[in-house]
Amino acid sequence: MLRRIELHDIHYSYVQGSAEQSIFSGLSYSFANIGSTAILGRSGCGKSTLLNLLSGIDRPRRGRIFIDGDEISAFNETQLAIYRRRNVGIVFQSFNLVPTLTVGDNLRLPLELNDVAKKQREHRVDEVLARVGMRDLRERYPEELSGGEQQRVAVARSVVHKPKLVLADEPTGSLDAQSGMRAIELIRDTAAEIGHALLIVTHSRAVASYADTVLTLDDSGQLAGYREGIAW
């Protein structure tokens, strides 16, 4: 089980032409016993950027990231790809399903990449699709699904290979209250079942209330414990 994520003096900025927008300028934080942790923050404060750094999709300009003692910020591209494939499940804010693959094949992909045997693979795909109420739509392509249905597939895909860490970016943004609850419960129950750590970024206090720990990311790129009465 993944226990500890440490961020040391993280600096990150987006550069566009001659303009530079600083998102993190010296973010340090230690997540101990992550369990399920929600990070609340205003739109544009850097939540998706933070998840991209934790998954190794982006690299900090300066600073170090340790996951259970492994310095992922020092990994080369191959090491990062292997780390992600084995240990991380991501629910992207924009879903990122593979458009040329059916729902079923989108879910089979992480299992194939991890060499899971065919019989086990089919069982697992069936199980997670049932959990998000998408079993009957497994032969559809993503473009034949509503936004909410794509999001449910994205949630199912993030947990199908039983990763150690699930990073979820507004995983209920396109869902009605009931589907949203089912999606969050799927992620949370899988956490309980296989002991993965869950980091979820959201604007929604309702979603955050499912987590054991709630943090805030403020506009200056700092993480802190959530206090009642924060307004945005």
Ligand X SMILES: Nc1ncnc2c1ncn2[C@@H]1O[C@H](COP(=O)(O)OP(=O)(O)OP(=O)(O)O)[C@@H](O)[C@H]1O
Residues making contact with ligand X (CB under 6 A): 14, 16, 21, 23, 41, 43-49, 93, 203
Contacts of 89 (CB under 8 A, 6+ apart): 110, 157, 158, 159, 160, 161, 163, 165, 166, 167, 196
Q: How far is the CB of 193 from ligand X (least distance, A)?
A: 28
Give the C-alpha separation, 65 to 73, whole Å: 5
| Euclidean distance between CA atoms 150 and 153, whole angstroms | 5
Q: Which does 49 bind (CB under 5 to 8 A by kind): Mg ion, ligand X, none?
A: ligand X
Q: How far is the CB of 27 from Mg ion (least distance, A)?
A: 16
Name residues contacting Mg ion, limited to 42-71 (CB under 5 A).
47-48
Q: Tell me the β-bridge partners of 215.
A: 39, 225
Task: Pick between residue 22 and residue 114 the one whose CB is nearest to ligand X.
Answer: 22
Which entry of ligand X, Mg ion, none binds 37, CB below 5 to 8 A by partner kind? none
**Smaller CB separation from Mg ion, 93 or 216:** 93
Place of tokens 């990122």: 96
What backbone torsions phi and psi does residue 32 show, to the nearest 5 degrees?
-110, 145
Nearer to Mg ion, 80 or 201 (CB): 201
CB of 24 to ligand X, least distance (A): 10
Name residue 10's beta-bridge partners.
27
Q: How far is the CB of 104 from Mg ion (least distance, A)?
A: 28
Residue 182, contacted partner among Mg ion, ligand X, none, CB below 5-8 A by kind = none
- Find the part of the chain contacting Mg ion (CB under 5 A) among 50-58, 87-95, 152-160, 192-200: 87-95
Q: Exposed, middle or buried, 30 (CB in 10 Å: 0-12/13-18/19+)? A: exposed
Rounded distance between C-alpha atoms, residue 131 and residue 41, angstroms? 29
Output 16 or 78, the one with its CB closest to ligand X.
16
Smallest separation, CB 80 to ligand X (Å)? 19
